[in-house]
Amino acid sequence: MQFFTCIKPGTKHENNLYLQVGKLFVFSICCGAEDEADFNYDPNGEKGPANWGRIHPDWGACSNGSMQSPIDLLSERVDVVSHLGRLNRSYKPANATLRNRGHDMMLKWEGAAGSIEINGTEYLLKQCHWHSPSEHTINGKRLALEAHMVHESLDGKIAVVGIMYMIGRPDTFLSSLTKQLQSVAGTYERDTVAGVVDPRNIKIGSRKYYRYIGSLTIPPCTENVLWTIVRKVRTATREQVRLLRVAVHDESDTNARQIQPINSRTVKLFRPEDKDD
């Protein structure tokens, strides 16, 4: 038997995820705060981004962290490298639930949905959620949408793969979720069964990616997150972006955190030597 549960913020076990396999408990970090009531994106609100670090004792990194996300991926500052290696995604179809978290829509795989391997570490795919407009910017420019595929290693390290979208042709993966998105659009903290969802259908379409060390972009803003942002900008329709954004219930009508200081970090851009993509 296997189950996943997220324990609500404010408890001693804040934001931790427990994976139970038989009698063995593996302890690890979860996917950020679950409850809309705890924070929002209202720039002037008391629960807005400027105050996230003060809302809960464990959210201090949101104000005081030194390696926060998102950042601007400014091309002048990016080191182009060819040694990071191509992303080894080995995903598989698994049952998933779509949840309106009030601040975003999250697709959470209940079963094993496979993993991504980065520099010898295997990170298991846990969930995917969306921000609009995009959180990361390229030369100061925000795009229409950004998907975050959140992965976690068995020892609790987090790796997020970000995919950016501009307005254009429909994204086929989002098209496949239209009915489920519509059914949870109105009410937050509402789940709907999404059935078997194949993460391989979340297309990347490029081998180039940015890599840097950052944080979760929502409380608790946990640091040391290994970020991979796919270089290629994909497309989605205005309607698809709108459907994802109806989860946001505050006045701001956005769920993108502001750009954070890069401090002493470097951003790498992986470009394979054979340049065939």
Ligand X SMILES: *[C@@H]1O[C@H](CO)[C@@H](O)[C@H](O)[C@H]1NC(C)=O
User: Which residues participate in catalysis according to the annotation?
Assistant: 103
What residues numbered 48-67 form the site for ligand X, per CB under 6 A? 53-54, 60, 63-64
The span from the CA of 19 to the CA of 34, in Å, is 17
Structural tokens at position 120: 């010898």
57 vs 168 by CB, closer to ligand X: 57
The amino acid at residue 190 is R
The span from the CA of 167 to the CA of 241, in Å, is 8
Three-state DSSP at 266 gives coil
Residue 118 lies near ligand X (rule: CB under 6 A): yes
Residue 169, strand partner residues? none
What residues have CB less than 8 Å from 181, skipping those under 6 apart?
A: 98, 105, 174, 243, 244
Closest residue to ligand X: CB criterion: 60
43 vs 111 by CB, closer to ligand X: 111
**Shortest Å, Cβ 70 to ligand X:** 20
The span from the CA of 210 to the CA of 205, in Å, is 14
78 vs 94 by CB, closer to ligand X: 94
Residue in 43, 85, 261, 272 binding ligand X, rule: CB under 6 A? 85
**Shortest Å, Cβ 78 to ligand X:** 15
Residue 156 lies near ligand X (rule: CB under 6 A): no
87 vs 167 by CB, closer to ligand X: 87
Three-state DSSP at 2 gives strand
Footprint of ligand X (CB under 6 A): 53-54, 60, 63-64, 84-88, 93-95, 111, 117-120, 196
